[in-house]
């Protein structure tokens, strides 16, 4: 079988992609699956701290809701996702016609780009912003404008200037908290930034990790500005990454546009039922938040004790600076610990580590110590 590398090197003539920039895209690098590590290195007891998943799993209410759907799998899901939208409407205090459902929040980011961005347009995002934003620009044949980060976070002043300098900007993507750096923006600074945006520029706040930072509540921006979209997911704190379900909150006009682009049954029957059940169990989310915060503090202490630099994180992962990150990553893999190297983000000396359960984090620190001592 030809490798995808060979395919990329070859020209596609006479078949050509819609935009030349599609050939610059590399397939999205996901965290190494546990099964792959077991196959490659023969290690059986694998700890995966690479994809910011919830080590606590999901609420038992979700499991029950899924079981109830099993006899209905021959039937298409509700294409409008009525019950989930109703539950989200109650939860977010947004009208049903302001909500768009997605097959994970990536689906919504994709729908947003396809709805608003053409080949003559530009997308603005931050250096060290979520990698999918630059991919979307390439996918649409548009210009991706990466604004240098400030202390690993968004430099809102510079991003504003980039928008003003590029009149063809259609979307500004801001992940808050940001992946992979874990930084969080001050809400007032964010509001000022949005207030300074031309009404023709959509500001997309990607809140994939917002449940870990509930003190940052930017929902009120939607009442004030029609050009704001908030995108959230059930993949992280809700523990449903395997199901693929997320939602966007926006003005009804934007939601109407997104719904024209959205595929008819983009969220499965099981995902709809699971997400609605997950929302009803906010005590599970409180517990997730509590355990994550405790384990985050523990990891910070361990890194301090090892003399390793890290960036204060407001999510369920933490970025660690370590010399020879690629070699350390390899040594961790060989001992069954999967973390995320960040070379692709231009962060060669850094690893992103998802906060696991106490036993996972202890294993990570013990393995790291043994690797560092052996050097």
Q: Which stretch binds ligand PLP (CB under 6 A): 100-108, 148-156, 164-172, 301-309?
A: 100-108
The closest of 225, 224, 25 to 139, measured between CA atoms, is 25
If binding is defined by CB under 6 A, does position 367 make contact with ligand PLP? no
If binding is defined by CB under 6 A, does position 88 make contact with ligand PLP? no
Among 55, 77, 81, 104, binds ligand PLP (CB under 6 A): 104
CA distance 28 to 215: 31
Q: Which stretch binds ligand PLP (CB under 6 A): 63-71, 101-109, 157-165, 211-219?
A: 101-109
If binding is defined by CB under 6 A, does position 179 make contact with ligand PLP? yes
Nearer to ligand PLP, 144 or 368 (CB): 144
Using a 10 angstrom Cβ sphere, with 0-12 exposed, 13-18 middle and 19 or more buried, the burial of residue 100 is: buried
Number of residues lying near ligand PLP (CB under 6 A):
13
CA distance 142 to 13: 22
If binding is defined by CB under 6 A, does position 246 make contact with ligand PLP? yes
If binding is defined by CB under 6 A, does position 316 make contact with ligand PLP? no
CB atoms < 10 A from the CB of 252, how many? 14
If binding is defined by CB under 6 A, does position 144 make contact with ligand PLP? no
CA distance 41 to 44: 9
Among 21, 169, 227, 233, binds ligand PLP (CB under 6 A): 233
CB atoms < 10 A from the CB of 290, how many? 10
Q: What's the min distance (Å) between Cβ of 208 and ligand PLP?
A: 4
Among 22, 25, 158, 241, binds ligand PLP (CB under 6 A): 241
The answer to whether 48 touches 34, Cβ cutoff 8 Å, is: yes
If binding is defined by CB under 6 A, does position 175 make contact with ligand PLP? yes
Residues numbered 37 to 56 that lie near ligand PLP (CB under 6 A) are 52
Nearer to ligand PLP, 163 or 210 (CB): 210
If binding is defined by CB under 6 A, does position 131 make contact with ligand PLP? no
List Cβ neighbours of 251 (8 Å cut-off, separation of 6 or more). Answer: 98, 222, 226, 227
CA distance 294 to 9: 47
User: In this structure, is the dihedral angle defined by the CA atoms of residues 283, 286, 292 and 293, taken in order, positive or negative?
Assistant: negative
| 3-class secondary-structure state, position 145 | strand
The residue at minimum Cβ distance from ligand PLP is: 104
Residues numbered 286 to 305 that lie near ligand PLP (CB under 6 A) are none
Q: How far is CA 149 from CA 114, 144, 183, 218, 315, in A?
A: 26, 15, 11, 21, 18
If binding is defined by CB under 6 A, does position 130 make contact with ligand PLP? yes
| 3-class secondary-structure state, position 11 | coil
Among 206, 295, 335, 353, binds ligand PLP (CB under 6 A): 206
Residues that bind ligand PLP (CB under 6 A): 52, 104-106, 130, 175, 179, 206, 208, 233, 235, 241, 246
């Amino acid at each position: 079988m030809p490798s995808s590398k060979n395919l990329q090197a070859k020209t596609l003539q006479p078949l050509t992609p819609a935009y030349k920039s599609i050939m610059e895209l590399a397939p999205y690098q996901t965290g190494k699956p546990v099964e792959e590590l077991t196959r490659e290195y023969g290690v059986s007891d694998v700890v995966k701290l690479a994809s910011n998943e919830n080590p606590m799993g999901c609420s038992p209410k979700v499991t029950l809701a899924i079981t109830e759907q099993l006899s209905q799998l021959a039937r298409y899901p509700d294409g409008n996702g009525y019950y989930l939208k109703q539950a989200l409407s109650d939860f977010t205090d947004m009208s049903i016609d302001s909500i768009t459902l997605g097959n994970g929040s990536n689906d919504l980011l994709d729908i947003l780009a396809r709805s608003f961005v053409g080949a003559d347009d530009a997308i603005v995002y931050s250096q060290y912003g979520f990698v999918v934003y630059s991919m979307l620009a390439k996918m649409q044949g548009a210009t991706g404008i990466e604004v240098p980060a400030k202390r690993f976070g968004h430099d809102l002043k510079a991003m504003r200037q980039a928008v003003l300098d590029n009149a063809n900007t259609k979307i500004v993507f801001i992940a808050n908290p940001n992946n992979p750096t874990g930084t969080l923006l001050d809400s007032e600074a964010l509001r000022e930034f949005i207030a300074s945006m031309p009404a023709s520029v959509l500001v997309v706040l990607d809140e994939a990790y917002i449940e870990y930072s509930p003190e940052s509540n930017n929902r009120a921006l939607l009442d004030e500005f029609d050009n704001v979209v908030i995108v959230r997911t059930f993949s992280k704190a809700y523990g449903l990454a395997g199901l693929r379900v997320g939602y966007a909150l926006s003005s009804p006009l934007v939601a109407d546009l997104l719904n024209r682009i959205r595929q008819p049954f983009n969220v499965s029957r099981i995902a709809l039922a699971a997400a609605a059940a997950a929302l009803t169990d906010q005590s599970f989310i409180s517990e997730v938040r509590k355990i994550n915060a405790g384990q985050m503090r523990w990891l910070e202490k361990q890194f301090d004790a090892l003399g390793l630099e890290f960036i204060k994180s407001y999510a369920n992962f933490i970025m660690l600076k370590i010399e020879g990150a690629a070699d350390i990553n390899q040594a961790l893999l060989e001992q069954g610990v999967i973390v995320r190297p960040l070379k692709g983000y231009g962060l060669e000396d850094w690893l992103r580590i998802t906060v696991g359960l106490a036993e996972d984090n202890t294993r990570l620190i013990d393995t790291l110590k043994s690797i560092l001592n052996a050097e």
